[in-house]
Structure 1
Amino acid sequence: MTLPAKTSPRFDDAFRARLDMLFAWRRDVRHFDPMPLAPGLLDDLLTLATSAPSVGLSQPWRFVLVRAPERRAAVRAIFEACNADALAAQRDDRASLYARLKLAGLDEAPEQVGVFVEPEPEAGHGLGRATMPETVAYSTVMAIHTLWLAATARGVGLGWVSILDPEAVGAALELPAHWRLVGYLCIGYPSALSDVPELERAGWEHRRPVDDFLVLR
């Protein structure tokens, strides 16, 4: 039996314009409305995240839904300790600005998801990572980015909390010791949005043009 040929979807100018808008409005959200997500929405977003590319089709990501109050409190304490260390390490001319930055939505976001990588997944049979084993972590980052765009397209905010001790978070969540934390995500409806990154609005840093990153050989 001959199967019908599949045709690729056609992405027109209107779609591309809206896709460009999605890229522009994707933000690292730190201000959340505590209202719960619509039923089933987080499941849908995580399902979409698993459509991300992965080295050798290994799908090395592991999503940990953190809902128990005592677990969240433990992660919050780890953040506070790491943030205090980061503040102490700032130059004098940056310390006051750093202290004013809101760097996490841990107290407001209705959902918290720890995204870990399985460094040696059985799936994929090692394909593509013999010379670059870090590609399993890169694959997990791709899943986070896919989740991020899917969330933004549905009016959901995502904040990536990186001021954390990965080993301490893994221990607090009682996860396999060899799993590595890639990103701790706060997810919920944003209380405010802007097409300008918050760090840029605060004067911490500014976007640079693409020419600043091009190298010709």
Structure 2
Amino acid sequence: MNPHRFNDQERAGVYRAIAERRDMRHFLHDPVEPEILARLLGAAHQAGSVGLMQPWRFIRITVPELRTRIHALVERERHRTAIALDQRHDEFMQLKVEGILDCGELLVVALPDQREKHVFGRRTLPEMDLASAACAIQNLWLAARAEGLGMGWVSLFDPDALAELLNMPTGSRPIAILCLGHVAEFYPKPMLELENWASPRPLSAMIWENGWGE
């Protein structure tokens, strides 16, 4: 018997949050309770990070006019992405890709400036700052699902334009716009699967042994 193991109910809750996490695009306008937001950000801040550099910064967007301008940046990139998709242009334009104007909370996650001083774990893999910040986002995502809140990760934006809009210092970089809030329901499957945009691949296709493709 493993003494460090959670009990059956606790383990079930962890696996349920993982299985039922969804990249949400549809939100109610209800605000997120401050105490819940604090818990979620606390969960994000407990993420593992290479060299304990904690390379995540959260910018909470509370000014409606700023939220509108961020939405405009995303909309601009949405059209550019549709053009790049060529034959799938029209199909892509029919997808709902964000809930920026609807969600209760809007957060921008960014990597800070002066990250180059963190060498531990990054000398040959400098992108581990991004990987560490992604762990924080995933913590927030799973905690939000456990709280009954939806979250959507929006990556359709020009990082330089968003950094300028938010007066970010040189060397910093926004990596995510997070839509967070109450939802009427969670998608039974990933939205892109429901919309027939893509199908998830099985785990068996992702696991090899002792070498690539083995």
TM-score by length of 2: 0.91
Which shifted more, 49-58 or 67-76?
67-76
Matched residues in 1 for 2:47 and 2:3: separation? 18
Matched residues in 1 for 2:153 and 2:80: separation? 19
Residues 77-92 of structure 1 aligned to structure 2 (within 5 Å): 77-92=72-87
Is 2:32 aligned against 1:37?
Answer: yes
Partner in structure 2 of residue 18 of structure 1 = 13
Figure out how many residues of one structure are paired with residues of the other and give that number. Answer: 209
Residues 98-117 of structure 1 aligned to structure 2 (within 5 Å): 98-117=92-111
User: Which of 169, 173, 176 is equivalent to 1:180?
Assistant: 173
Deviation at 1:42, TM superposition (A): 1.0
| Residue type at the aligned position of 1:213 | M
Q: RMSD value over aligned CA atoms?
A: 1.9
Partner in structure 2 of residue 129 of structure 1 = 122
**Unaligned ranges ≥5, structure 1:** 1-6
* Secondary structure class of the residue paired with 2:59: strand
- Is the 2:43–2:139 Cα contact (8 Å) retained in structure 1? yes
Deviation at 1:12, TM superposition (A): 2.6
| Residue type at the aligned position of 1:43 | A
TM-score by length of 1: 0.90
Matched residues in 2 for 1:186 and 1:151: separation? 11
Matched residues in 2 for 1:41 and 1:55: separation? 27
| Residue type at the aligned position of 1:101 | L
Matched residues in 2 for 1:54 and 1:203: separation? 35
Deviation at 1:100, TM superposition (A): 1.2
Residues 1-217 of structure 1 aligned to structure 2 (within 5 Å): 9-92=4-87, 94-118=88-112, 120-121=114-115, 125-216=118-209, 217=211
* Runs of 4+ more than 3 Å apart: 7-10, 119-123
What fraction of aligned residue pairs are identical, expressed as a percent?
37
Matched residues in 2 for 1:122 and 1:135: separation? 11
Deviation at 1:207, TM superposition (A): 1.0
| Residue type at the aligned position of 1:114 | V
Partner in structure 2 of residue 3 of structure 1 = none
* Secondary structure class of the residue paired with 1:52: coil
CA change 1:39–1:119 in 2 (3 A) is: closer
Deviation at 1:9, TM superposition (A): 4.6
- Is the 2:56–2:136 Cα contact (8 Å) retained in structure 1? yes
CA change 1:211–1:119 in 2 (3 A) is: farther
| Residue type at the aligned position of 2:32 | L
- Is the 2:113–2:170 Cα contact (8 Å) retained in structure 1? no
- Is the 2:114–2:171 Cα contact (8 Å) retained in structure 1? no
| Residue type at the aligned position of 1:118 | P
